[in-house]
Amino acid sequence: MPYDLLVKGGHVLDPGQGLDGRVDIGITNGKIAAIQPDIPASEAARTVQVRGDNRYVLPGLIDLHTHVGHGATTAGVGMGSVTPDIGGVHSGVTTVVDGGSVGVANVGVFRYHILPSANTRVLVFLNIGSFAHTMPGAADISRIEDIDEKAIAACVEANPGLLQGFKLRMVGPVVRERGEEVIRRSKAISKEHKLPLMVHFGDGGGDSHRMAELTKLMLNTFEEGDILTHLCTPHPGGMMDPTGDSKKELPEVREARARGVTLDSALGRGNFGIDVARIQADLGLAPDTTSSDVTLGGRNRGVGLLDSMSKFMAVGYSLSDVVSMASDKAAKAIRMQDQIGAIAVGREADLSIVDVVSGRWKFYDTKEVPFTGEKAIVPVQTIKAGELFSPDWGPYPWGWLPEEA
């Protein structure tokens, strides 16, 4: 038989490849071997029959900002992380980027404990702060010496190929007091190792004018390939102008995008304002990518990539828009557009099969402001390198769908 697995009868939606219709996908040796109508089931050893008008076959989804350092970020001490597969293949996602859960103090946990057992593709962004999310408190940098350039250089040398970027969280007393030095050091490390810098914007405890000053400096320091995360944060240091018209974004945001900086939304439960997202949509400041910022605590409150996609559909973006944010555009953001994020012959067979469920669904933003949407996206089956993975129970006590409005 020419195919190990056949995905048959599904509505294939891949905006990056221009696919939007019913075609079959033949998979051999973990790679996509054929994309064409009406491939006979007799030509495959196994067949996944996709039925239903609201069921879609998508490129393997990419979550650009997660926290999957499970076991390195201990619940009750620092911020807890989910396992890669809970945030990944058991949630309709084939690739996750860990956004700085660990620093040089314990990044080895990924190579020796997390990656060997993960079915999900995991990319690691190293936190600029040595201890990152592993210590009590909200800040990753408790003193300026936590940015240890020599230790980071030794870490990069000792772990070839492990680190795909760096992460800086613009939060906490050290950032507020010595933010200019933090930005300078962080960007110097990024440039030295020729890896992108992902930066968390929005400090719930910061002064709006001081944080805006630092945000502008960081935006002006960004270079092509860097990633702005939490585009829609309602906290001080966000992308909206705090000194004048609150319905106007900082001009430095668009300037950074024009230089090749990715604007990522990374909602979580702590960094998404529905009013900010709606204003940005009206201004034409759409995120390039959407991601979950999933943590162990957030996972139990609905957080996940499909939840983020559903929320942006509630803002007014189309299904095609949000799929692109989590596939071809996300792949481009991590410089892997030639490998993942697309349904194409010869590519690794990463697919996400989802249902788009109509209803009146209640969502909440960071400040617990409720809003409703007419669509909720839930996972049905995930295919990673030709292997099938079913969803887990879901992020709510009752499963995957959000509360009905």
Cα 227 → chain centroid: 11
CA distances from 23 to 36, 57, 152, 383 (A): 5, 10, 47, 16
Neighbours of 351 (CB within 10 A): 28
Tens-place pLDDT, residues 345-359? 999 999 999 999 999
What is the rounded (10 degree) CA torsion for 42, 46, 50, 56? -120
Task: Write phi, then psi, for 136 (nearest 5 degrees).
Answer: -65, 155
- Strand 227-229 vs strand 262-264: parallel, antiparallel, or unpaired? parallel
Cα 160 → chain centroid: 23
Task: Write phi, then psi, for 315 (nearest 5 degrees).
Answer: -70, -30
What pLDDT does residue 281 have?
Answer: 97
What pLDDT does residue 51 have?
Answer: 95
Neighbours of 394 (CB within 10 A): 18
Q: Does the pLDDT of residue 138 top 80, yes or no?
A: no
Task: Write phi, then psi, for 93 (nearest 5 degrees).
Answer: -125, 135
Query: Mean pLDDT over residues 147-159, rounded?
Result: 96
Q: Does the pLDDT of residue 139 top 90, yes or no?
A: no
Cα 71 → chain centroid: 20
Tens-place pLDDT, residues 88-116? 999 999 999 999 999 999 999 999 999 99
pTM score of the predicted model: 0.97
- Model confidence at 316, pLDDT cuts 50, 70, 90, reads very high
What pLDDT does residue 24 have?
Answer: 98
Query: What's the rounded Cα separation, in Å, for the pair 3 and 36?
Result: 13
Query: Mean pLDDT over residues 154-169, rounded?
Result: 96
- Strand 227-229 vs strand 55-59: parallel, antiparallel, or unpaired? unpaired
| Closest of 257, 200, 180 to residue 224, by C-alpha | 257
| Closest of 6, 40, 28, 63 to residue 341, by C-alpha | 63
Tens-place pLDDT, residues 203-259? 998 899 999 999 999 999 999 999 999 999 999 999 998 876 678 999 999 999 999
Q: For the chain, what percent of residues have pLDDT higher than 90? A: 93
What pLDDT does residue 245 have?
Answer: 67
Q: Does the pLDDT of residue 373 top 70, yes or no?
A: yes
The arrangement of strands across the sheet holding 11-14 comes to: 19-22, 11-14, 55-59, 351-364, 370-384, 387-389
What angle, 0 to 180 degrees and rounded to 10, lies between the N-to-C axes of helices 208-221 and 251-258?
Answer: 20
Contact present, 26 and 295 (Cβ < 8 Å):
no
Within 88-207, residue ranges assigned H as helices are 108-109, 149-158, 173-192
Contact present, 104 and 77 (Cβ < 8 Å):
no
What pLDDT does residue 75 have?
Answer: 75
| Closest of 93, 101, 157 to residue 353, by C-alpha | 93
Give the tokens for residue 346.
């010869």
Give the tokens for residue 135.
């210590």
| Closest of 166, 298, 308, 176 to residue 231, by C-alpha | 308
Domains and CATH numbers, the chain: 61-333 (3.20.20.140)
Tens-place pLDDT, residues 15-35? 999 999 999 999 999 999 999
Residue with tokens 């969803």: 391
Contact present, 124 and 163 (Cβ < 8 Å):
yes
Query: Mean pLDDT over residues 40-66, rounded?
Result: 97
| Closest of 23, 25, 2, 1 to residue 11, by C-alpha | 23
- CA dihedral sign of residues 331, 334, 337, 340: negative
Q: Does the pLDDT of residue 276 top 80, yes or no?
A: yes
Q: Residue 213: beta bridge partners?
A: none
What pLDDT does residue 74 have?
Answer: 75
